[in-house]
């Protein structure tokens, strides 16, 4: 039997066995529940609170509009503080320097914002304008003038956060799943039967591919996107679709890298109780990568985020965040992918040798250094 055919048979076996396992459905539901809690709970909490906004004004008419909005701001879950400044130029400067959330130009002929007007604040100011002018005739809505080009950075940041969270959960979940499967076969002696007909490298490759195919990343990704849209935290735009593609692509790259490491971790032990011990270092690395993704969210073009994009253990989570934020040039994307692919190729060869020598060892836990020496003896 050719190596590719042997690996394909193992992959098919993994798919059939995993689909029958109820843990697949449970893990998918749990992951979606966690994402729902993260996306929905802040929205529910935020809907019951009052946000404070500062509005800069210069002319008396503008101040009257602001005070009318201030009196009715609670209707829109808002509290408005009025900042008096010298003139319209000072209003624009206060908004542009982020010392005010918005300003009213001249005699309140327009709302001045830096980039994007918050809905609650906008509704309150429009209501204030209507109340003052209602005795004449219903006035048209105040035009909104942005001092800087409007972008979708807030939406992209929300998408990037969900992407990092999704990648973290899935990489650690798939990895532990793989390690547990290897220990199960090792404890039941099934692996000895399998290795009597195929080589360890083919068995390892088939398991990695099979578990990767049977995973529910597409379902979870679609669910997370739907939750984000439903809670108004994400707009379903071309950027959202592109972000989903970025997550899928980097998951494949990250899974290939981490699957080899988790496979070795599983091969070192013979009991399910010991899997947690051998996989803990990998879990810590993944958790650290997720925590470092917050630095990439805050400053995707910064030196730390850029450097971590080229470090194989952190790249699968950090690089997608920067890419979704639009702060990763093409040359950096190519470089990060090449580094990760090269590292994975080298890791596959090493992991396969360690796996082949450790997977048949039963009883006490095999030390990594011992397995390394045996693989090179």
Tens digit of pLDDT for each residue in 319-356? 998 888 888 899 999 999 999 999 988 888 788 778 77
User: Which residue shows structure tokens 């990439």?
Assistant: 296
CA distance 14 to 206: 8
The domain boundary, picked from 146, 181, 206, lies at 146
What is the sign, positive or negative, of the torsion defined by CA atoms of 275, 278, 283, 286? negative
The domain boundary, picked from 112, 146, 180, lies at 146
Cβ partners under 8 Å of residue 346, min gap 6: none
**DSSP string for residues in 98-167:** TSSSEEEETTTTEEEESS---HHHHHHHHHHHHHHHTTT-PPPPPPEEESS----HHHHHHHHHHHHHHH
Judgement on whether residues 7 and 99 belong to the same structural domain of the protein: no
Judgement on whether residues 134 and 158 belong to the same structural domain of the protein: no
Cβ partners under 8 Å of residue 342, min gap 6: none
Judgement on whether residues 77 and 93 belong to the same structural domain of the protein: yes
Judgement on whether residues 106 and 158 belong to the same structural domain of the protein: no
- pLDDT tens sequence across 98-123: 899 999 887 667 889 988 888 888 88
Judgement on whether residues 192 and 319 belong to the same structural domain of the protein: yes
The domain boundary, picked from 126, 146, 166, lies at 146
- pLDDT tens sequence across 175-208: 888 888 888 877 777 777 777 788 877 887 888 8
Judgement on whether residues 141 and 158 belong to the same structural domain of the protein: no
Cα atoms in the 13 Å half-sphere on the side-chain side of 348: 19
- Asked if residues 223 and 234 have their Cβ atoms less than 8 Å apart, the reply is no
Judgement on whether residues 190 and 328 belong to the same structural domain of the protein: yes
**DSSP string for residues in 183-252:** HHHHHHTHHHHHHTTS-HHHHHHHHHHHHHHH--HHHHHHHHHHHHHHTTSS--SHHHHHHHHHHHHHHH
Q: What is the pLDDT of residue 93?
A: 92
Judgement on whether residues 86 and 212 belong to the same structural domain of the protein: no
Question: What CATH number is associated with residue 107?
Answer: 3.40.190
pLDDT in tens, the chain (377 residues): 677 788 888 788 777 776 776 766 676 677 667 666 665 655 555 544 578 899 999 888 888 888 888 888 888 888 999 999 988 899 999 999 989 999 988 766 788 998 888 888 888 888 888 877 765 555 566 676 666 655 555 556 767 777 788 788 888 888 888 888 888 877 777 777 777 788 877 887 888 888 777 665 555 666 666 666 665 555 556 666 777 778 788 888 888 899 888 988 888 887 888 888 889 999 999 999 999 988 888 888 888 999 999 999 999 999 998 888 888 899 999 999 999 999 988 888 788 778 777 776 766 677 777 766 665 66
Closest CA to 53 of 160, 107, 109, 128: 128
Judgement on whether residues 127 and 164 belong to the same structural domain of the protein: no
Judgement on whether residues 107 and 215 belong to the same structural domain of the protein: no
**Domain containing residue 79:** 49-146
For the chain, the domain total comes to: 2
User: Which residue shows structure tokens 């001045």?
Assistant: 112
Judgement on whether residues 136 and 245 belong to the same structural domain of the protein: no
Judgement on whether residues 85 and 223 belong to the same structural domain of the protein: no
């Amino acid at each position: 039997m050719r190596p590719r055919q042997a690996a394909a048979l193992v992959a098919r076996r993994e798919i059939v066995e995993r689909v029958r396992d109820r843990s697949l459905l449970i893990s998918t539901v749990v992951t979606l529940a966690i994402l729902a809690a993260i996306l929905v709970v802040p929205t529910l909490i935020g809907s019951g609170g009052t946000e404070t906004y500062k509005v800069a004004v210069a002319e008396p008419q503008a101040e009257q509009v602001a005070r009318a909005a201030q009196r009715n701001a609670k209707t829109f879950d808002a509290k408005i503080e009025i900042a008096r400044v010298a003139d319209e130029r000072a209003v624009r400067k206060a908004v542009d320097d982020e010392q005010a959330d918005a300003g009213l130009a001249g005699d309140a002929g327009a709302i001045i914002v830096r980039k994007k007007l918050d809905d609650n604040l906008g509704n309150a100011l429009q209501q204030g304008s209507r109340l003052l002018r209602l005795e004449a005739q219903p006035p048209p809505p105040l035009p909104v003038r942005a001092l800087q080009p409007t972008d979708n950075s807030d939406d992209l940041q929300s998408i990037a956060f969900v992407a990092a969270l999704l990648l973290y959960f899935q990489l650690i979940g798939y990895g532990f799943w793989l390690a547990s499967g290897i220990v199960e076969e090792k404890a039941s002696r099934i692996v000895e039967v399998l290795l009597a007909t195929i080589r360890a490298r083919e068995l390892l490759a088939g398991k990695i591919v099979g578990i990767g195919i049977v995973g529910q990343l597409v379902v979870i990704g679609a669910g997370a996107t739907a939750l984000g849209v439903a809670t108004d935290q994400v707009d379903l735009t071309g950027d959202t679709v592109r972000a989903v593609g970025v997550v899928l692509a980097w998951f494949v790259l990250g899974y290939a890298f981490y699957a080899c490491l988790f496979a070795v971790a599983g091969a070192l032990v013979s009991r399910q109780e010991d899997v947690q011990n051998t996989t803990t270092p990998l879990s810590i690395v993944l958790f650290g990568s997720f925590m470092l993704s917050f630095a990439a969210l805050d400053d995707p073009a910064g030196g730390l985020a850029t450097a971590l994009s080229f470090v194989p253990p952190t790249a699968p989570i950090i690089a997608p965040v920067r890419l979704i934020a639009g702060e990763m040039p093409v040359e950096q994307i190519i470089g990060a992918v090449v580094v990760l692919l090269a590292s994975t190729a080298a890791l596959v060869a090493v992991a396969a040798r360690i796996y082949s020598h450790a997977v048949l060892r039963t009883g006490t836990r095999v030390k990594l250094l011992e397995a390394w020496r045996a693989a090179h003896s």
